[in-house]
Amino acid sequence: MRFLTDADVAALLPTPLETVALARDALVARASGDVEVPPKPAVHTVPGSFANAMPAAWPARNLLGCKWITIFPDNPAAGLPTADGLVVVNDGGTGRTRCVLQAGVLTAARTAAVSGACIQALAPDGAAVAITGAGVQARSHLRVLAALGHTDVRVYARREAARRDLQEWAAREVPEVSLRSTDDPAEAVRGAAVVVTALSIGVEGAHLDPSWVSPDALLLPLDYATSVGPGLATGAVLAADDVEQFEAVRATRRLGDYPSPSGWTGDLLEHDRPAGRVVCQNLGNGLSDLVVAAAVADAAESSGAGHLLDTDGT
């Protein structure tokens, strides 16, 4: 069995455009019902934290696996990452464990790729993008945006140090992006055709004012209902990457008074964009992780990368 660290995963990831294509395939397959992805169960220890198991199977592609992910929002205060986890990739024909991957880098890349698939299908070419939050997801999204040709980007972050660090990173890693940062969320969001929200889940008082948001904007909340509240969602076309999972989360009230979605994100990608605001609440499902993890596992096996573990006791 092969084990891959986050550093291994980073070196083996497909290109951003390839990852976007994989994410689109997964979104469309989930909407079509050709895969098996049960709603992810959640368990809890510390108040405000949770952990999910995210299994998935895609028989047509011989894909089988599961992600175990923990979210502890208070961790950064202790110098620890908010999210941690592992992805297991099995052989779909035999069940043999092929690979175990650390989930941090993979999750960031997968999340940005899902957003990228939505932007590619539902936003005008080269449209201006706003991102709220200057953490890991801002960086992974900037890589995808650069690959898609969206180089006019504004970022909101409350802390000056976070804005400065992101500007320096972007100048090195995605110099083609014209990045402007601000401590005013309204300034970041106004006029943007695409709004990606990446604040910590559960932050109070962070709802975007609907008057800031363009009437035909594409909204991609990564932070549940923290930024894109029920008011914005109710007045928009609302889709979910996994409608069953969305309804399971909605029943826990973690989305507040959100309405039910009108359909699947994967279906939106296959048809003409509807008029008006579109909100894609892509809460994350195991299939999107699995398609990217399997590509990384394939690359590791081809190149001999990673760490082989002795599993037969010899």
Distance separating alpha carbons of residues 215 and 274, to the nearest angstrom = 12
DSSP string, 122-145: HS-TT--EEEE--SHHHHHHHHHH
> Could you report the per-residue pLDDT of 48-80, keeping only the tens digit for each?
888 999 999 999 999 999 999 998 988 888 998
- H or E stretch covering 58: strand 50-58
Residue 297's pLDDT band (boundaries 50, 70, 90)? very high
Q: What is the pLDDT of residue 313?
A: 57
294 falls in which pLDDT band (50, 70, 90)? very high
Whether pLDDT at 311 is above 80: no
pLDDT digits over 234-264, tens only?
989 999 999 999 999 999 888 999 999 999 9
Q: Are strands 237-240 and 278-281 parallel, antiparallel or unpaired?
A: parallel
73 contacts 200 by C-beta, under 8 angstroms: yes
Cβ distance 292 to 116 under 8 Å?
no
Which of 6-20, 199-213, 262-276 has the lowest average pLDDT? 199-213
CA dist 312 → 48, 87, 302, 309 (Å): 40, 21, 22, 9
Per the prediction, the chain carries an average pLDDT of 95
pLDDT at 29: 97
From CA 173, how far away is CA 120, in angstroms rounded? 21
Give the C-alpha distances (Å, rounded to integers) separating 293 from 90, 220, 271: 10, 23, 28
pTM over 0.85: yes
If one looks up domain 123-284 in CATH, what number appears? 3.40.50.720
* Domain at 2-106+287-308, CATH from 3.30.1780.10, 3.90.1570.30, 3.40.50.2300, 3.20.20.80: 3.30.1780.10
pLDDT per residue as tens digits for the range 156-179: 999 999 999 999 999 999 999 999
Predicted confidence at residue 48, as pLDDT, reads 84
* CA distances, 91 to each of 59, 255, 286 (Å): 10, 35, 16
Query: Given pLDDT bands bounded at 50, 70 and 90, which one contains residue 227?
Result: very high
At residue 77, what is the residue type? A
Nearest to 100 by CA among 88, 92, 116, 112: 88
Q: Please list the residues that pair with 77 across neighbouring strands.
A: none
Q: Rounded to an integer, what distance in angstroms lies between the CA atom of residue 48 and that of residue 150?
A: 35
Is pLDDT above 60 for 207? yes
Q: Mean pLDDT throughout 270-299?
A: 97
The yes-or-no verdict on residue 47 having pLDDT over 70 is yes
Categorize the per-residue pLDDT at 98 as very low, low, confident or very high, splitting at 50, 70 and 90: very high
Distance, in Å, from the CA atom of 44 to the CA atom of 60, rounded to the nearest integer, reads: 34
Q: What is the pLDDT of residue 314?
A: 46
The domains of the chain are located at 2-106+287-308, 123-284
Give the model's pLDDT for residue 103.
96
205 band by pLDDT with thresholds 50, 70 and 90? very high
* Gyration radius (Cα) of the chain, Å: 19
For helices 104-122 and 136-148, the axis angle rounded to 10 degrees is 40
